[in-house]
Chain A
C-alpha cells in the first residue's frame, strides 16, 4: 500500500520513462535512424538499440528515437539524423553502436555537433 506522497512520487519517477515514447510531441529532440534494407544490412539495428539504451542510461527525457526508411545514403549507412526543435537537422554517417552512444552523450545531451562524422551532402 502507498502511504505517503513521497512513495507515490517514487513510483511515478520509476515508471516515468515508460511513457516517454508515447509523449513524443513535436517539441522533443528527435533522433532518426535509417532502417532501410541497406541500413539494417550495415548494422542499423545494433545502432538503434544502442542509442535507445544510451538515452535511457543518460536519463535524457526530452528526446525520442525514431526509425526511418531510406535516406538515400547507402554508402554511409547506418545513418543517424539528430533534430533539435527549431534547428536544422544534422546527419551522421557510418554510425555503429559506439558512435551512436557518443552522439547521444555529446550531441543530444550537450548540444555539441561531432563534425568529423557529419555527412556532407
Chain B
C-alpha cells in the first residue's frame, strides 16, 4: 500500500545534538502504537539548514514544518497531527517581528530568499537509500556524460557554465578539468578529502550527510 504521510526528521549534526534521534524514536513508537505503520512513515533526512531551530520535523504532503521538537511535542504530533489532522500550533515557527505562525517552510523568511541548489536534496531524500537519489534525477548528468558526450564537450560545457570551486579560491572547474586532461600519464587519480578544517563549518559536510551519492 502506498504511504499517505511521511514525517521527515532531521538527522543533521545540529538536530542530532539537540536530540532528534530520540524524537525519531518517539514518533516511530507512537505511530506503531496507533497501528499506522503501513500508512505513515518516519524517516531521517539530512540537514534542513535551520539548525538553530532544530530538531526539525517536516510532515509531508501536508507541508507542515515543525521546529524545536522534543519528546513531548513528538508525542503530541502523533496524537494530534498524524491521527486527527490537527496541527500542533505551538511547534510551528513563529516570526519574531509579527508573531505570526508560519507552517510552511517556504514562507519562513529564512528560506524565502534562498534557492537551494547544491543542497536541494538535503532534508528531502533518505540519504541511505540510493534509489531516492536516483528518483530525484540523481546520476542523470553523469550517465549522459559517459554515454553521449566526448571529454572535450564536457570540459567546454563546464567552462561555459561558470562553475567554480566552493572554496575561498573559487577556481574555475572547467579549467581544472582541462588541465587534468592535458597532463601526462595513463592513470590519473582523484583525491577527495571531503574535509572541513574550519571550526564550526557546515558546508560540504551537510551535503555528504544529507545527499551523499
Which A residues fall within an 8 A CB radius of B? 2, 4-5, 8-9, 11-12, 14-26, 30, 34-37, 40, 48-49, 52-53, 55-56, 64-70
Contact = CB atoms under 8 A, between A and B. Distances in A.
A24 B132 contact: no
Nearest to B45: A22
A94 to B, nearest CB: 18
Interface in B183-205: none
A48 B4 contact: yes
Contact of A35 (B85, B124, B136): B85
Contacts, number: 95
A15 B85 contact: no
A35 B62 CA distance: 13
Contacts of A2: 139, 143
A14 to B, nearest CB: 8
B85 to A, nearest CB: 4
A20 to B, nearest CB: 8
A34 B134 contact: no
A21 B106 CA distance: 16
Interface residues of B, number: 32
A113 B6 CA distance: 29
19 contacts: A2-B139, A2-B143, A5-B140, A8-B143, A11-B131, A15-B131, A15-B132, A17-B2, A19-B124, A20-B61, A21-B60, A22-B8, A24-B62, A24-B63, A35-B85, A49-B39, A65-B61, A66-B61, A69-B85
A53 B39 CA distance: 11
Given A53-B1, A65-B61, A18 B132 contact: yes
Contacts of A16: 135
Contacts of B39: 49, 52
B134 A8 contact: yes
Nearest to B87: A69
Nearest to B136: A19
B125 A19 contact: yes
Contact of B135 (A15, A37, A64): A15
A121 to B, nearest CB: 20
A5 B61 contact: no
Nearest to B62: A66
B53 interface: no
Contact of A34 (B85, B87, B132): B85
Contacts of B1: 49, 52-53
